Structure 1
């Protein structure tokens, strides 16, 4: 399993130049203003303005540099820097610098507390989401979990994969909400999936088990809170990786990456998320795909497609994965995440979970191999 990490904060490198720019700007402004106009208050405010961003040393240094500028300005204009009228302004200057230092320390303590909370949340997330094996038979497996930097709360994203007598069954899902309630639902769904993957005779049977579990969680709440629902893709790969069956419950479509092309495996019919079966029809649609050798199947949560850049444009993973890439799931996920962070300026607003499966490669896999074929199975599947 890839490391669970918080998305790195944006680097505000311009902040390191803010104190110098501020002091220089005030210095120039003073030279351009009439003799009787004083810009001393602007210099006194400099350490307070930079206190939330810089270190304690940087804040105090800004105060010292601003004080030096306040001493030099009168000399440049041909008068003494210290007089009876300067006692109160300089006292105010020292007071504001001390106040800025106190504010800086308080903010630094809050940042440390938030960092500790995030580390605890990530540790819990690791405990809930165990590492899958790197290989299951002929299939290569890779996962990633990226925690949003703006949240210390534990997310509801999850993935699971299990070899069974029916093939390799897998799931990626996103529980509505965050915090301990989401973790409880995630833990329950993981246990239910692993049991259902072994015991259910077909994919709709696995979906029924999961639907029942979410319904039980809602019943346990007794209507005291918002109804829990879960978007998910539950899938089944044949043992040789040649056939894929999916049941998409309101989740972003998986991507099939093969020979420089990424194609969404959209469901033939829409379905409601888990926990909302009472609002939908009785059938559980299952889509079937014939997969090419050497392809990589990529599943992800909506934190990927709902990520935005500074203009509010949503991220689309298809263009990045529609480039020549090695048929290795780890490489594919690393390339996707690097492009996602570039799009968002290294700042995620929601957790991201990814699961990639590398299909077996055929040495005779020539350019004439056909892409994945799709059809919707006529499963007479009834909801619970």
Structure 2
């Protein structure tokens, strides 16, 4: 099972090609017309009987005006209009047949007509909002595909499996970012967490990813790649400040794979990786941790790379704090290290599947932050050879 970029639930409900997204949203909440008519007749009969039993001292039929309001929540505009017309006719007919004061009858009829009309207006507003949200979802899916690479992906030096879950269904792209780039200097990987959420955070993340994609191919040194991303975040913050937006920083971990038994790492204020090897989990100790991207002016030292062990058959697991800071209903933090030890002997895609299910069960489906996890392992010999053969050379031909 290949575990890659998990699409949010709303994306899985995307309309079929050629279908208007608003119609698809409205259709999802449609109640069968025959079922609606049956319930409407039953409720009307009950209210009419109660009205007859209570007499003129306590008129019950005007209470039918709540039915268009209820229909506006669950039904289409056409169905809500039918309910509103039916309720208005029943109220008008019952009041005309009554012997009450003229102005009392006029008031009740006017009130029923107004309430019914408001129900139809509310239903139309709901459908319009659903249409707009469906179109925004479609645009967000396209934006996500441009910003975040679908996983898994295999390069000449590493195989990357991943899990990405934004905090909100209708946001799709959160503050967590990642990228994998095959370069002349090996495979470069970044995982990061942009401060904040929403469109401003997406803009900062896009600036960081764009700079990483270019610098990963251009720069021979991983520290220089981090410097290029730093400059991009600073430039974006300068522009944001001029337009009144809040300046943001990015915690990030940059890794460089050359196919050997060591990995180069630059830590920019991010959580260190974990090593999965021989069925055990161990923390990777990083001696050089610098400030987050966008805050280099506050750091006293230049960013530097360091090497960590990456033995054959091992996997590096990198993640954002949406995993470690997940909480259950009592407020207890997710025991990530303890749970990971149970899955250390599994394949990368199985580890991610187990983590995804366990996080969902632990948090009760309520998450406070985005979740991004990458499992980086050496590609099988067959896949490594296939990628090497298909990789384009500098002149655009294949090797």
Confirm or deny a common fold (TM above 0.5): yes
Stretches of structure 2 that go unaligned for 5 or more consecutive residues are: 12-30, 92-96, 382-399
Task: Give me the whole-angstrom Cα distance separating, in 2, the residues matched to 1:66 and 1:59.
Answer: 11
Stretches of structure 1 that go unaligned for 5 or more consecutive residues are: 10-15, 71-81, 363-384
Note closer, same or farther for the CA distance 1:134–1:201 as it changes in structure 2 (3 Å cut). closer
**What RMSD in Å do the two structures reach over aligned CA positions?**
4.9
- Contact kept? 1:157, 1:174, Cα under 8 Å: yes
Task: Give me the whole-angstrom Cα distance separating, in 1, the residues matched to 2:343 and 2:361.
Answer: 19
- Contact kept? 1:258, 1:327, Cα under 8 Å: no
Displacement of 1:7? 4.4
Please tell me whether residue 115 in structure 1 is matched to residue 117 in structure 2: no
Aligned partner of 2:273 in structure 1 is 254
Aligned partner of 1:227 in structure 2 is 247
Task: Give me the whole-angstrom Cα distance separating, in 2, the residues matched to 1:58 and 1:253.
Answer: 57
Displacement of 1:163? 3.9
Matched position secondary structure for 2:161? strand
Task: Give me the whole-angstrom Cα distance separating, in 2, the residues matched to 1:196 and 1:219.
Answer: 20
Displacement of 1:197? 3.0
Please tell me whether residue 176 in structure 1 is matched to residue 195 in structure 2: yes
Displacement of 1:54? 5.9
Note closer, same or farther for the CA distance 1:44–1:237 as it changes in structure 2 (3 Å cut). same
Kindly provide the CA deviation profile for residues 332-351 of structure 1, in whole angstroms up to 9, marking residues without a partner as x.
22332333344455465654
Aligned partner of 1:216 in structure 2 is 235
Displacement of 1:275? 0.8
Match of 1:5 among 1, 7, 11: 7
Displacement of 1:121? 1.9
Displacement of 1:291? 3.6
Task: Give me the whole-angstrom Cα distance separating, in 2, the residues matched to 1:84 and 1:306.
Answer: 68
Task: Give me the whole-angstrom Cα distance separating, in 2, the residues matched to 1:299 and 1:65.
Answer: 61
Displacement of 1:181? 5.1
Aligned 1:1-384 pairs, distance under 5 A = 2-3=4-5, 5-7=7-9, 44-45=65-66, 48=69, 51-52=72-73, 83-84=98-99, 92=111, 95-131=114-150, 134-137=153-156, 139-152=158-171, 154-164=173-183, 166-177=185-196, 182-221=201-240, 223=242, 224-240=244-260, 242-258=261-277, 262-265=281-284, 267-268=286-287, 270-284=289-303, 286=305, 288-307=307-326, 315=334, 317-324=336-343, 327-346=346-365, 350-359=369-378
- Contact kept? 2:157, 2:257, Cα under 8 Å: no
Displacement of 1:353? 3.5
- Contact kept? 2:87, 2:112, Cα under 8 Å: no
Task: Give me the whole-angstrom Cα distance separating, in 1, the residues matched to 2:59 and 2:343.
Answer: 63
Task: Give me the whole-angstrom Cα distance separating, in 2, the residues matched to 1:277 and 1:337.
Answer: 34
Note closer, same or farther for the CA distance 1:109–1:334 as it changes in structure 2 (3 Å cut). farther
Kindly provide the CA deviation profile for residues 241-283 of structure 1, in whole angstroms up to 9, marking residues without a partner as x.
x323332222234343456655554644653210101112214
Note closer, same or farther for the CA distance 1:312–1:98 as it changes in structure 2 (3 Å cut). farther
Matched position secondary structure for 2:290? coil
Count of residue correspondences: 343
Greater percentage in helix: 2
Note closer, same or farther for the CA distance 1:41–1:83 as it changes in structure 2 (3 Å cut). closer
Displacement of 1:226? 2.3
- Contact kept? 1:304, 1:315, Cα under 8 Å: yes
Matched position secondary structure for 1:173? strand
Note closer, same or farther for the CA distance 1:83–1:304 as it changes in structure 2 (3 Å cut). farther
Matched position secondary structure for 1:323? helix
Moved more, 229-238 or 95-104: 95-104
Note closer, same or farther for the CA distance 1:326–1:62 as it changes in structure 2 (3 Å cut). farther
Displacement of 1:42? 6.6
- Contact kept? 1:235, 1:246, Cα under 8 Å: yes
**TM-score, scaled relative to structure 2:** 0.64
